[in-house]
A and B are shown apart, each in its own frame.
Chain A
Amino acid sequence: MKERYFSTFELILMALFSALIVVAKISLKLPLQLPGHSGIFWMALIIVAAGVVPKRGAASLVGVTSGLIAAFLGMGDLGALNTFLSYTMLGVGTELSLWLLQNPENIGAAVLTGIIGHISKLVVKWSLGTLTGAPVGFLALGLARSILGYVIFGALGGLLGSLTLAALRKAGFFAYLAEKR
């Protein structure tokens, strides 16, 4: 019998991470009035997911699944399609970045992956807004401020994800996972 690409255990792990992303988005609030600040939790979780299930497609699948959950829960200010595509592209951006940078446990790679994944979400939101004829930013530097916010919080999320993966490895979690697979 042909072996499946993702084991059932890995699929369950990815589903848990997808749900965690949505739960984090709903319940964890930082008292910051800066665009993209939720990226700290978001990128940390998706990078840990990509480290725990180190296969091509894992981050994208987590992005798609969390996007479906968030869209069905009616999250986001701009409609279900916007929510679904934003979450999905965050996963796909992370995936493509990890394809280049490879190891999410490397701090530099994780930080840059966090930035690329998170900024992918901004690209989707901005593109959909522009395609639907939304006005240009009210403040001349409004978009620059958003980009800066997404870069900073994406980087912090990547760093947090990398440190979490290192802590999990130290605690023997990956040896435990190897047995389960």
Chain B
Amino acid sequence: MSQKTRLLIAVAIILVIAGSLLGVEAFLRQKQTIEDAEGELTLSPGSIPIYVNGKLAYGFNPEDLADLGKISFVDAEEGKTQEGWALRDILRLYIAPENLEAETRITVSSSSRDRSVQLTWAEVDDPENWVLFDLSGRGTLKLVSTLEGFDTRDDWVQDTDKIEITTP
């Protein structure tokens, strides 16, 4: 076999791998739909559902990010830049200001990783805490921050798939 043929086979292998990944991802994306109990609200694939007091109220869509600026910080653990969209800016897009009191509880969770974090609006709203969603390598959202007790990789919520708001 000539070297040219070998190179062409390698290029074909790369295309097959990339095509397979994108194909399966597109298939999974089509399958994923989230509806509320009454079937009145259907979220588009990839959206993150936002529940208010236990009821599905909104879906956080990628289109909404166009209106939001990115923020970033360098984490102390590995010195990597964590960059993305502030959770406070995202919540302000959907939740009326009167529902966001200092004591309002915000729970961000990942069912696949069986992990969640509960923060108060006061913590989320404080710019010094850098509570933001960073985009992971797989394209999912990872909640990170510099907040004490929620500032290392072991604490952060990878593959976020739910946001819950509980008003006092």
Contact = CB atoms under 8 A, between A and B. Distances in A.
Contact of B22 (A100, A132, A147): A147
Contacts of A78: 158
Contact of B137 (A116, A122, A132, A151): A122
A123 B22 CA distance: 11
Given A29-B80, A126-B138, A134-B159, A116 B13 contact: yes
Interface stretch (B3-11, B93-101, B124-132): B3-11
A136 B83 contact: no
Interface string B84-123: 0000000000000000000000000011110000000000
Nearest to A35: B137
Contact of A140 (B6, B46, B138, B159): B46
A151 B14 contact: yes
Interface residues of B, number: 45
A135 B46 CA distance: 7
Contacts of B6: 100-102, 109
Q: Which secondary structure dominates where chain A touches chain B?
A: helix
Interface in A73-123: 77-78, 97, 100-102, 106, 108-109, 112-113, 115-116, 119, 122-123
Contacts of A122: 21, 137
B11 A129 contact: no
Contacts of B159: 129, 134-135
B46 A137 contact: yes
A145 interface: yes
Interface of B: 3, 6-7, 9-11, 13-14, 17-18, 21-22, 24-25, 28-29, 32, 45-46, 48, 62, 72, 78-81, 83, 110-113, 135-142, 153, 156, 158-161
20 contacts: A33-B72, A36-B137, A77-B153, A77-B156, A100-B10, A116-B10, A119-B17, A125-B138, A126-B25, A126-B138, A135-B32, A135-B112, A135-B161, A136-B28, A136-B29, A136-B140, A144-B22, A146-B138, A147-B21, A151-B14
